[in-house]
């Protein structure tokens, strides 16, 4: 693929299900762009279940009013590629599973996608990550606590104490703060290795204390940055 097939304009393809079922929005957040750059894959190369992990992780941090961290994400997830497939996936790390799988068997997603290209509103919205499929993706091992900043280590410990969170539940409750609070206050899912009863407000205080050094949460301008063409 190259940009000549779009009258010289750069573009990438993106599966409809990532918008429709997972609720991802464009332009990508700084976290999403940095993550794509770190693992060196095009947006379409990342399996929808993995996009659901990214989305739920962002919702969790957004709930506490803080920007998500790539280092923290890659502490809880490893990048893998199945056999000779060019699709790349995130998998949770044994002993520190943070999010459950969005769908156990994700079907019917490969044949429906959009072609995404920038408008004149923001020509830089697609800078910093690969638009087209990459043969040599940046398959990385999960980051240990020793490999990440000290502030991020504290956040990792807080997240680990929350047990396994349901990815689908987080995504479904994204725009309902009360429902999200109610879910998080219940603690872990039935599949969690431990059970906790701390309220969400306790976690919120811990997050604010641990993440204050990361700076204010940035808000992206979503207006008219992209054209979506169903293909």
pLDDT at 228: 44
Q: What is the DSSP letter of 46?
A: B
Does pTM top 0.85 for this prediction? no
Distance CA 47, CA 50 (A): 5
Residue range 110-159, pLDDT digits in tens:
666 777 776 665 666 666 677 766 776 665 678 899 999 888 999 999 99
Taking alpha carbons only, the member of 81, 61, 59 closest to residue 71 is 61
User: CB burial class (10 A; 0-12, 13-18, 19+) of residue 40?
Assistant: middle
β-strand partners of 12: 116
pLDDT at 2: 43
Structure tokens at 56: 């739920």
- Provide the pairing of β-strand 11-15 with 113-118: antiparallel
Residue range 154-202, pLDDT digits in tens:
999 999 988 999 999 999 999 999 999 999 987 544 333 332 234 344 4
Angle in degrees, 0-180, between the axes of helices 48-63 and 177-185, rounded to the nearest 10: 90
Residues 207 and 64: beta-carbon distance below 8 Å: yes
pLDDT at 68: 94
Residue at token pair 């690969």: 130
CB atoms within 10 A of CB 211: 23
Lowest mean per-residue pLDDT among 27-41, 47-61, 69-83, 206-220: 206-220
Task: For 65-205, list the strands marked E by DSSP.
Answer: 77-81, 88-92, 113-118
């Amino acid at each position: 693929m190259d940009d000549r097939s779009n009258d010289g304009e750069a573009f990438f393809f993106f599966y409809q299900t990532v918008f429709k079922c997972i609720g991802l929005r464009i332009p990508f957040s700084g976290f999403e762009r940095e993550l794509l750059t770190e693992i060196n894959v095009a947006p379409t190369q990342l399996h929808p279940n993995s996009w659901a992990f990214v989305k739920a992780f962002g919702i969790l941090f957004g709930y506490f009013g803080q920007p998500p961290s790539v280092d923290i994400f890659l502490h809880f997830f490893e990048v893998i590629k199945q056999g000779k497939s060019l699709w790349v996936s995130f998998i949770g790390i044994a002993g520190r599973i943070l999010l459950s799988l969005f769908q156990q068997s994700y079907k019917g997603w490969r044949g429906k996608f959009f072609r995404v290209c920038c408008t004149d509103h923001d020509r830089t919205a697609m800078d910093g990550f690969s638009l087209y499929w990459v043969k040599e993706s940046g398959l990385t091992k999960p980051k240990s606590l020793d490999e990440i900043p000290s502030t991020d280590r504290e956040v990792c410990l807080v997240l680990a104490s929350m047990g396994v969170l349901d990815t689908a539940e987080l995504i479904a409750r994204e725009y309902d703060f009360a429902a999200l609070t109610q879910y998080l206050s219940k603690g872990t899912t039935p599949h969690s290795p431990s059970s906790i009863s701390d309220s969400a407000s306790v976690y919120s205080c811990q997050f604010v204390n641990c993440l204050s050094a990361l700076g204010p949460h940035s808000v992206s301008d979503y207006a008219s940055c992209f054209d979506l063409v169903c293909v």
